[in-house]
Amino acid sequence: MREFDPIVFDRRRKAGKKCTGIISYDTFYSLNISREFLDREFKNIEILYDNKYSVHVNTNVTRLNREKLEIWLDEEVKTKRPRDAVIKGNIVISENEKYEGVIIDCSGWKGKAKWLKAIEYLTEPINEDKIIVYFDSRNKGGFSWIVPLPYGTLIGSISYINPEFFLPKIEKRVLDKHGGAIPRVYPEKKIYDLRLGDSTGLIKTFTGGGIFSIAKLLSPLVAGITNNNFEKYFFTYSNIAREIRKQYRITNVLEVLWKFLPILFRMYNDKTINVSEEFDLHSLLFRRLPH
Ligand SMILES: Cc1cc2nc3c(=O)[nH]c(=O)nc-3n(C[C@H](O)[C@H](O)[C@H](O)COP(=O)(O)OP(=O)(O)OC[C@H]3O[C@@H](n4cnc5c(N)ncnc54)[C@H](O)[C@@H]3O)c2cc1C
């Protein structure tokens, strides 16, 4: 059995990237981390189309405090930052030093993608117990959200154009602003090196959720490092890639048919949909009927 003594190289000066962090309870559970990183659980999501149609979703999702988790990990693991690193076969080169061992590329997505811009504000808290998601006829391929947390409210939007334009309006003081780019990737069927996170391209196409695949690959990856056998890791990668490739194709169709979305929303208006594994496996959503 191999001993673990990982080193993280990160070109960022400080740990603690912020993101909305909405993941299924299943994903949270698979991360195998303390509940101190779970800010809130949600059983309901309301989806609004042009503030005209409303669909209710019964689900079981959580808000992961990604920033807090990354800061904790940074203290637990040997980290070198700010350090640029280059992977060459089974060697990492950083500041003229060479490191040899099992290498996992966690450097984010660097390949071909359709990129969306995301912006998110943290404001003062509001009195609400559900997540609200907004679809706007003018925000083709994007959406916006309000996520109420115990210590504040996340107000965000993703868009191919300017996400600021679609931010939901609330009368609360803004405490923080952050954002980033979200890649829509058509992942390769197979990979031959070890990766984790956005570098795999296994990002839920429509929502940009990347934590789901981290949770799925984590345990086969750790087992692979321990036993020096990565068969299960590559098998899991291929399974998730199949789902994300489906999501990518569905999202393309959705973008083309965007102007027909009101028909779908009218059909489902005021109805409730139960969503469990479909929260991650979006391609299954199309089999669901309202009740
Ligand atoms: C606004 C926003 C909201 C989001 N909301 C959700 C959500 O609700 N649910 C969800 O599941 N996902 C969400 N995501 C996506 C999620 O944040 C990403 O999937 C996740 O952060 C990916 O983590 P990562 O570590 O793989 O990549 P990154 O966070 O991109 O980290 C890559 C790191 O590698 C470093 N790096 C890159 N190249 C090098 C190099 N050569 N040398 C050294 N260091 C290098 C970078 O500095 C960076 O620190 C959201 C993203 C954004 C921007």
Q: What share of the chain in percent tops pLDDT 70?
A: 97
Ligand 1: residue of 7, 8, 9, 10 to mutate (most ligand atoms within 8 A of CB) is: 10
Mean of pLDDT values over 73-97: 95
Distance 73 CA to ligand 1 centre (A): 15
Q: Which atom of ligand 1 is nearest to the CA of 119?
A: 1
Q: What is the mean pLDDT of the chain?
A: 95
Mean of pLDDT values over 70-81: 96
Distance 290 CA to ligand 1 centre (A): 35
Helix axes 211-227, 231-256, angle to 10 degrees: 160
The pTM assigned to this predicted structure is 0.95
SS3 content of the chain, % helix, strand, coil (to 5): 30, 30, 35
Task: Name the pLDDT band for 291 (thresholds 50, 70, 90).
Answer: very low
Q: What is the pLDDT of residues 111-164, one digit of tens each?
A: 999 999 999 999 999 999 999 999 999 999 999 999 999 999 999 999 999 999
Ligand 1: residue of 9, 13, 17 to mutate (most ligand atoms within 8 A of CB) is: 17
Q: What is the pLDDT of residues 27-66, one digit of tens each?
A: 999 999 999 999 999 999 999 999 899 999 999 999 999 9
CA angle 98/103/109 to nearest 5° reads 110
In the prediction, which pLDDT does 105 show?
Answer: 98
Task: Name the pLDDT band for 87 (thresholds 50, 70, 90).
Answer: very high
- For ligand 1, say whether the CB of 10 is within 6 Å of any of its atoms: yes
- For ligand 1, say whether the CB of 279 is within 6 Å of any of its atoms: no
Q: Which amino acid is at 136?
A: D
